[in-house]
Structure 1
Amino acid sequence: MKVRGTVLAASALAVCLAAAGCGPDAGEGKGPAAKATASGPEGREPRPAASASSGPAPTSDGRTLTEAQLAEVALTTGEVPGFDIAPLPGSDERGTEKSEDEACRPITAVINGSPEPAPAATVFRTATDTREEGRDDQTVVTEILTAHRAGGAEEMMRSLREAVRACADGFRTTGEDGPSTYTDVKALPAPGAGQESLAYQVTGSLEGAPVPLVFHLVRTGSTVVTFYAADFLTGKTPEVPSALVTRQAAKLP
């Protein structure tokens, strides 16, 4: 597994997987382990998710948003204290991994930055904790906002729930840069935001060291937001800050 940058390698799902051999275990034995940032400070444990019943259930007008409309509802700098929000460079480059097990295909699709069913529109953002500027373990989270046609958002969430259960023992993929192995998949406490939410961890490796990839998803109406974080340094489960999830979910129509 190769990484081509520091912050981008840790935060940019599409950029990272589009880089040569970026998939876990790809390029194993090709040299010393690459150095990259992590998405959460060493020793930091995920904070408990907010309860889904802590307030009135959100409503939605059910619209399938255009790319421009997705950009309008995406988080911006200043909306979550301490976080700088920016478009994700290179987001037109997607991963090419294909799961050897069809049941794990939905997970692989998200890893590639191309969730299924194919969305009508997609917008990428990164959220960087500016309070941790200069730290090797600076928190950086990637957001993928996807707008779906009728039933597509619900299908995406449903298929991922099924895949998390089916692929608990891990899976293998093949791609342009060779095979990759993910050793396990496990459900995490859901964010409790939006009309529906889901969280899970997929564990890959970087030159034999475990690399946990964490995904938090929230759906409101026909829009799904996927939050992604990775830890390339400590092997600990990275954190997706709840403030990012709840604030973004509150903006979905």
Structure 2
Amino acid sequence: MRVRTTVVAAGALVLCLAAAGCGADDSEGGDGKAAGGKASASPTPAADATPEAGSEPSSDGRTLSEAELAEVALVTDEVPGYEIAPLEGTDDRGTEKSGDEACRPIAAIINGSPEPAPAATVFRTAMDTTEEGDDDQTVVTEILTSHPKGGAEELLRSVREAVRACAGGFRTTSDEGPSTYTGVKKLPAADVGQESFAYQVTGSLAGERVPLVFHLVRTGSTVVTFYAANFVDATAPEIPAKLVTAQAANLP
């Protein structure tokens, strides 16, 4: 049975954790497919971005509270054509643990729990309302996290290093069983925020490739992690640049 992506479906996943984790080696039952983002050969618009000296957006560097994160999160109508909503089910995070310590930062983000541990976290979903009813309707998850001094920079640094170290893939174990990720690669990233980094992780579900795309943006002590998955086919999903740009503009 093909599962159509909706906010309810996305909320039940806490990222890609629907059918025993998106990297699960599940060979039984159904086709296990759902869509987390419109397929695109170009997930993000620009190069891996660190703004040039003098061009960085200013930031007050504050560690935001959960209420303050909620205030800067995107809302419906802020980006035309997208419905923004809180992500449901976020109290039940993933439990994937990488067998390779170098890949731990990637597994932590798949779990919905970026490391180092944030001071506050807010989840949102952004759904393209013009694609309502489509099997490959674009649904992007956002994780907004605020960090004590130095924590946001450490998060970006550790993810960059993990993407380099884990290019050949990695395996995890979790409460749901083992998972296999067959490859990790850096992607072009929109030139926003004080740091911007995007990458793809390729998982396996019911014997089929499942591309997961992540885009991290840091301004000051705040990081936004955008996530989309494609369970319909093996084409990388798109994280729309206008969502990334609009959210980055809200960060203090």
Using the alignment, how far apart are the partners of 1:114 and 1:83 within structure 2?
Answer: 25
Using the alignment, how far apart are the partners of 2:251 and 2:152 within structure 1?
Answer: 13
Cα distance, 1:111 vs. partner?
Answer: 0.3
2:132 aligned with 1:133, yes or no?
Answer: yes
Specify the SS of the correspondent of 2:63.
Answer: coil
1:247 maps to 246
1:185 maps to 184
1:39 maps to 37
Q: Runs (4+) of structure 1 moved beyond 4 Å?
A: 2-5, 8-14, 16-20, 50-53
* Sequence identity percentage: 65
1:101 maps to 100
Cα distance, 1:37 vs. partner?
Answer: 2.6
Using the alignment, how far apart are the partners of 2:203 and 2:113 within structure 1?
Answer: 19
1:48 maps to 45
Specify the SS of the correspondent of 2:196.
Answer: strand
- Tell me if structure 1 keeps the 8 A contact 2:15–2:110: no
* CA deviation string 1:8-31 (max 9, x = no partner): 5874585255545133124x2222
2:174 maps to 175
1:89 maps to 88
Specify the SS of the correspondent of 1:179.
Answer: strand
Using the alignment, how far apart are the partners of 1:8 and 1:176 within structure 2?
Answer: 24
Q: How many residues align?
A: 249
Seen in structure 2, the aligned counterparts of structure 1 residues 136 and 190 have a Cα distance that, compared at 3 Å, is: same
Specify the SS of the correspondent of 1:46.
Answer: coil
Q: Which stretches in structure 1 are left out of the alignment for 5+ residues?
A: none
Specify the SS of the correspondent of 2:177.
Answer: coil
Cα distance, 1:249 vs. partner?
Answer: 0.5
Specify the SS of the correspondent of 1:89.
Answer: coil
Please give the root-mean-square deviation of Cα atoms over the aligned residues, in Å. Answer: 2.3
* CA deviation string 1:171-190 (max 9, x = no partner): 00000011000000000012
Q: Which stretches in structure 2 are left out of the alignment for 5+ residues?
A: none
Q: Matches of residues 107-122 of structure 1 in structure 2 within 5 Å?
A: 107-122=106-121
Cα distance, 1:132 vs. partner?
Answer: 0.6
1:205 maps to 204
